[in-house]
Amino acid sequence: MQATDISTLEAVALAATRSAAVASYAWVGRNDQKAADAAATAAMRAALAGAPGRGTVVIGEGEKDDAPMLFNGEKVGTGRGPDFDIAVDPLEGTSFCARDLPGSLATIAFGESGTLWSPGPGFYMDKIVVPPRAKGVIDLDDAPERTLAKVAEALGKKVGDLRVMIMDKPRHKELIARVLEAGASVQTPAGGDVGGSLAVLLPTLDIDLLLGVGGTPEGVMTAAAVRALGGGMLGRLAPQRDEEADAIRAAGMSLDRVYDCTELVAGEAFFVATGVNGGPLLGRPRKSEGATIAESLLISRGQVRHITHTTFELTSPAGTTKETR
């Protein structure tokens, strides 16, 4: 993609996540995950409809949870401009949104056409995410104790000083126990796969690595951020049910192959997130003197930008109009 195309598409992605975040915020604390997800998806789809060019959803969220979604293969945009790939989760952390717990995000990644990896029928993947200084030492086949030792050495720390992000899921019970036994501290959110990975990449959040099994859409979006910032990431399909494993094999895909972030995202790409109900990364949308304010994060071309969107509602004799600045 040309630099001008990237800048234009970054603006589209920011508008899409902002729209999704504001729409889903109406459902914060209402204990209805699907309604929140549906609101985010509809708002994001509407925002993407006006994108210059033709976007293809390579990997979307929803199928594994029977939730509303932007589906794999869906086309968006006007068709007038560059072709590009999309990886998307309109509402990452739906349970956080429904229960008004911090950490839910509207998320999306754009890449050059043909560069974002498609997991086919694979919904889950095992992954490691580390900062740039540890990118050359990780191996998915290592025992967690060896991974901790290698990452600690690369970062100039002791294992006991490491802070590890692992989602609090039944599948991670043994992994969490082994990491704790090795001496590292563990942060165990109930979800928030992308947010956990971003905590590794952004030094202000003080997480040294992420381990465990999460969703494939989140994995590809994470890879876009990792690649843009020079971090390290490895992933491998990790089906959670026999039917998922059978579907992956039937599609001719390997359950053993390990992908690094340059294979998950094989070209120019960027990542965008907007906060839905607050947390360490981004604040929630809020109203102030006739305006709606939302906070976003753009990771692109080696840079991290925090962006505040303010939408003013201006009344006039003709009625009410909205202007985004």
Q: Which residues are annotated as a binding site for Mn(2+)?
A: 37, 61, 89, 92, 218
Q: What is the pLDDT of residue 316?
A: 42
| Domains of the chain, CATH where assigned | 3-114+271-324 (3.30.540.10), 124-265 (3.40.190.90)
Instruction: Give the pLDDT means over successive 10-residue stretches in the chain (325 positions).
Output: 77 96 96 94 95 92 57 90 94 93 95 94 96 96 98 98 96 98 95 90 92 94 95 97 96 96 95 94 89 95 92 53 38
CB 148 within 8 A of CB 179: yes
In degrees and rounded to multiples of 5, residue 163 shows phi and psi of -120, 120
Q: Which residues are annotated as a binding site?
A: 37, 61, 89, 92, 218
Name the token pair of 26: 């109406």
Nearest C-alpha neighbor of 61 from the set 37, 31, 26, 32:
37
Q: What is the pLDDT of residue 253?
A: 96
Q: What is the pLDDT of residue 318?
A: 41
Q: Is the pTM higher than 0.85?
A: yes
Q: What is the pLDDT of residue 287?
A: 86
Name the token pair of 16: 């899409």
SS3 56: strand
In degrees and rounded to multiples of 5, residue 13 shows phi and psi of -65, -40
Query: In this structure, how many other beta carbons lie within 10 angstroms of the beta carbon of residue 176?
Result: 19
Half-sphere exposure of 32 (CA within 13 A, CB side): 10
CB 231 within 8 A of CB 198: no
CB 90 within 8 A of CB 106: yes
CB 275 within 8 A of CB 281: yes
State the pairing for strand pair 319-324/303-316. Answer: antiparallel
SS3 305: strand
Alpha-carbon distance of 222 to 123, in angstroms, equals 15
In degrees and rounded to multiples of 5, residue 146 shows phi and psi of -70, -40
CB 52 within 8 A of CB 77: yes
Alpha-carbon distance of 236 to 217, in angstroms, equals 13
Tally of residues, the chain: 325
Q: What is the pLDDT of residue 288?
A: 84
Alpha-carbon distance of 130 to 125, in angstroms, equals 16
